[in-house]
Chain A
């Protein structure tokens, strides 16, 4: 069924400043890689730039500076016709399934349009292919002549997933795919996404603010704060050993479904998220950080491995393990 699958996803690198009249530093100097077959979770509060990154990854927006490299080629400065070809491999699932589906078209037409346009199937096999897709996302094929409003939120999100999958992508960016759904339905969709990943060998970028959901689907997680990645690590490593104080505070803030743990020690952040139009100097988190030192106001910390050769990177010189701190920051 699958056509290719051997090539690797090359580094996705970017130092991007989005253009707006007064500059909103939505994403401000971010580097990371996405490996083939993995799920990279991106977590952060609203306005941290996580959705902006998502749109850059699939080429919906051009960065102000920096590059998004896909298989070694920069899609950020690609011509339209070439981008169109590559877009079939990079797809997106949106949060709001109501506004991303055309309300005046039947599901059949919503799904058929892109397939014919990209010449993925011919007219004879079209019907068969749509049945297959609907089955894949767990919808009865009898539903293909219905309109989007006739579906529940969970079913609409399934159509949104089918729509992303119909061009046989390799990378799917899921931007808050479950946050608009009821909890019992969220679990259905998360399980479906996991199952599809196994079957179709997909690579996911999973953007969300709910830590529980991100942990459930991701191999690696990047934590963002005000346009920067403050920490990135394998999921287990990150949850066992969070370094950055913002990561720690974020974990502490997540309510636990365990009433007996109510009295636990936790960091409660003071104050509000500063504006990204005029981000704080030095470390962006220093205005709310319980560990902030004088130097944090001035020095902009870099994202560095917490140990030599570690895949766990963090941008906080204060809480880094001692040996790293001495090596990297003294002098």
Chain B
């Protein structure tokens, strides 16, 4: 099957005072129709920048240096903003973490929803309103016509996030990019929202790119996972493969550092010493080597992103040579 979205060798740099900082470095991945792809990484690893560049929403001081983003056979990076507008909001939509700043505080929910619907679907006012009410029902809010008349501040965080999802779904997109959609919410509400997203994803047969740092959410939702570190993809695998047999030392440490309610209480959490290096784009070779327990002098050479098994990619030559054994299950 043709992938829905194919990102090839994407590099993005921020330019400040004529110096370039490469924050996304040769990232490649694809999204299949109907799948949930999670992009995981800590803050500053480039996961959000990658997502924003798909929709052409990068800040003015960011520059795409190379690569292509093919969506249904067309390169999004070569499009002008008018062509992009045909796709943004129609075929690809985005759900942001910060709902408070994504909804307009001086317009009612009804106003904002019907505006989107009539702009993208060409419905007249009455039909757009009916459709908006239907969408609000779909995301599980009670009394939709009352919600239509409310302003964003009158809704709770979870309700606002439901409205954001209604907006993203209104035009039945093929791909939703969700950037930390539930980070600001309480766990019981998070579960509600994630269940809703998955149900609607199945109903509409959409693909989702979920950007998160929450390993638990990844385990609950993902089909495939990409781990990013310091601007690079360092591992890609199906969710089962990743949790059973993570390759890269960073992935292993990341999975080991999550306290779980089912752990042995005496278990000591793996902690990764140090922090993400600040000038990581200047590091030659493996960018994790400074914090890696398995680092060897050979790690200072450029690391190849290679296929360990079909569908399982790792950027660590020592794993490839079998020098870092997998923990037996």
Q: Which residues on A are within 8 Å of B, measured CB to CB?
A: 45-46, 152, 154-155, 182-188, 190-191, 209-213, 215-216, 235-236, 239, 249-262, 266, 268-269, 272-273
CB of B259 within 8 A of CB of A215, answer: yes
Which residues from A are CB-within-8-Å of B77? none
Q: Does B144 contact A (CB under 8 A)?
A: no
Size class of the contact patch on chain B: 35 or more
Give the distance to chain B from A198, nearest Cβ to Cβ, in Å: 12
Count contacts between A and B, CB distance < 8 Å: 129
Give the distance to chain B from A95, nearest Cβ to Cβ, in Å: 14
Which residues from B are CB-within-8-Å of A266? 191
A sample of 5 inter-chain contacts (CB < 8 A) reads A183-B254, A184-B254, A212-B259, A251-B261, A254-B216
- In the complex, chain B residues 181-220 whose Cβ is within 8 Å of any chain A Cβ: 186-192, 195, 213-220
With A45-B187, A184-B254 given, is the CB distance from A254 to B195 under 8 Å? Answer: no
Q: Please name 4 further chain A to chain B contacts, defined as beta carbons within 8 Å, in addition to the given A210-B259, A256-B260, sorted by A numbering.
A: A45-B186, A185-B275, A258-B243, A259-B219
CB of A187 within 8 A of CB of B255, answer: no
- In the complex, chain B residues 203-244 whose Cβ is within 8 Å of any chain A Cβ: 213-220, 222, 239-240, 243
How many Å lie between the Cα of A260 and that of B273 in the bound state? 30
Give the distance to chain A from B246, nearest Cβ to Cβ, in Å: 11
How many Å lie between the Cα of A216 and that of B264 in the bound state? 9
* Contacting residue for A268 out of B191, B219, B270, CB 8 A: B191
Q: Does B81 contact A (CB under 8 A)?
A: no
Which residues from B are CB-within-8-Å of A260? 240, 243
CB of A183 within 8 A of CB of B261, answer: no
- In the complex, chain B residues 234-286 whose Cβ is within 8 Å of any chain A Cβ: 239-240, 243, 253-255, 257-263, 265, 268-273, 275
Q: Does B32 contact A (CB under 8 A)?
A: no
CB of A215 within 8 A of CB of B189, answer: no
Give the distance to chain B from A310, nearest Cβ to Cβ, in Å: 20
Q: Does B98 contact A (CB under 8 A)?
A: no
Which residues from A are CB-within-8-Å of B187? 45, 209, 211, 250, 253-254
Sort A-B residue pairs by CB-CB distance and give the 3 closest, nearest first.
A255-B216, A212-B259, A187-B271
With A212-B260, A258-B243, A272-B158 given, is the CB distance from A188 to B190 under 8 Å? Answer: no
Residue in A closest to B44 when the chains form the complex, CB atoms: A182
Q: Does B300 contact A (CB under 8 A)?
A: no
CB of B261 within 8 A of CB of A184, answer: no
Give the distance to chain B from A91, nearest Cβ to Cβ, in Å: 23
How many Å lie between the Cα of A253 and that of B272 in the bound state? 27
CB of A183 within 8 A of CB of B156, answer: no
CB of A191 within 8 A of CB of B188, answer: no
How many Å lie between the Cα of A183 and that of B240 in the bound state? 21
CB of B261 within 8 A of CB of A211, answer: yes
